[in-house]
Amino acid sequence: MSSREVPALLQRHGVQPTAQRTEIALAIFGNAGHQSADEVYETVNSGAIRVSRATIYNTLKLFVDRGMIRPVIVAPGKVFYDPNMAPHYHLYDTDTGELTDIGADQIEIHGLPTLPPGKQLDGVDVVVRLRSGADSKRGAD
Amino acid sequence: MSSREVPALLQRHGVQPTAQRTEIALAIFGNAGHQSADEVYETVNSGAIRVSRATIYNTLKLFVDRGMIRPVIVAPGKVFYDPNMAPHYHLYDTDTGELTDIGADQIEIHGLPTLPPGKQLDGVDVVVRLRSGADSKRGAD
DNA sequence: GTGCTTGCAAATGCTTTGCACAAAA
DNA sequence: TTTTGTGCAAAGCATTTGCAAGCAC
């Protein structure tokens, strides 16, 4: 995604394309992976323009509300923002903190439970957790 | 689980059974559902003895380390502690904040991705997210 | 000019930590 | 006595918010 396409993307989602929002969107959609709010802040501010943390957070929330990105929660206080809205899952490395996509086709989920009446499905989050060493953890058992 | 069995449970996991830890364990294993750290704090302190937040957090972490309970993260800053260590998944109601178990047999996951070399599976977290009203949310689209 | 945006800094909410006192081994 | 556990209050993070100044239409 180029900086030329971003404003159109924003408008398509009913978001007024300002310089800051364009930079933030570019940081998220331009770069590959998933970034935390703080990483987005760093990415954006490493460039020419300067964007405050407040704006980063406000904008991220706006993008989530508008269905442009989705938050992936991997640990308390560890939220990544995922520009991939297609159904898919995640691989999280507990040691490195790295988050990787798993295609929807790589995990099959069958037989979701019956939903309570009046409720509707909002989404299914799957996080596969990895740890490095063969015996890096554990003590009991 | 009665207050008589708890000390044995703690010792079985290499945890010295103190009055506070017994109360905390009782709050988690005695009551049904999942509780947040704060709910455990309330539950414990509604009884006779008084336990500080520091001890609640320290003990919860200790229990997690010892494999007695597991944390379930449903939202940033929203962690529940689940006394059920058997493989199973969760249903989270975004509106009420209620967390319900889904038996491992109610969802089938097939074809986990190949793990990178040197890594091993730490667990698979599945959270099925619900929202209430038919049109309670959304604004864009 | 009116309304939406931005940024600062203060505030919030949850969790962790340092240190002294209390209890257990 | 030596080790381990507890509690208070302060510190730490990530995130949110109030309010004034800036921009866009």
The CA angle B137-B97-A96, to the nearest 5 degrees, is 95
A72-109 per-position pLDDT tens digit:
999 888 999 999 999 999 999 988 888 999 988 888 88
Distance A77 CA to C20 C1' (A): 31
Q: Give which of B126, B127, B132, B141 to mutate to test A binding, by max A Cβ within 10 Å.
A: B126
- Whole-number pLDDT of residue A52: 95
Which band of pLDDT confidence, cut at 50, 70 and 90, is reported for residue B16? very high
Cβ <8 Å between B108 and A111: yes
Task: Report if CB A76 to strand D is under 7 Å.
Answer: no
Task: Report if CB B52 to strand D is under 7 Å.
Answer: yes
Cβ <8 Å between B121 and A108: no
- Kindly list the distances between the CA atom of residue B9 and the CA atoms of A11, B13, B41, in Å, as whole numbers in the listed order: 58, 7, 20
Higher-confidence position of A141 and B73 = B73
Mean pLDDT across A63-71: 94
- Residues, chain B: 141
- Whole-number pLDDT of residue A131: 85
Say which of B73, B125, B140 has its CB closest to residue A13. Answer: B140
Place of tokens 């159109």: A8
Nucleotides of chain D touched by protein CB (<7 A): 4-9, 13-18, 24
CA-based nearest residue in chain B for residue A74: B73
Quote the DSSP letter at residue B13.
Answer: T
* Backbone angles phi and psi of A78, in degrees to 5: -120, 100
- Whole-number pLDDT of residue A140: 25
Q: Where are the alpha helices (DSSP H) in chain A?
A: 6-12, 19-25, 37-45, 53-65
- Whole-number pLDDT of residue A4: 75
Cα(B105)–Cα(B125) distance, rounded to whole angstroms? 14
Distance B48 CA to D4 C1' (A): 24
Please determine, for residue A53, whether its predicted confidence score (pLDDT) is greater than 70.
Answer: yes
Please determine, for residue A141, whether its predicted confidence score (pLDDT) is greater than 50.
Answer: no
Which band of pLDDT confidence, cut at 50, 70 and 90, is reported for residue B114? confident
Beta bridge partners of B120: A131
Distance A48 CA to D23 C1' (A): 19
Distance B57 CA to C16 C1' (A): 9
Which band of pLDDT confidence, cut at 50, 70 and 90, is reported for residue B138? very low
Cβ <8 Å between A122 and B131: yes
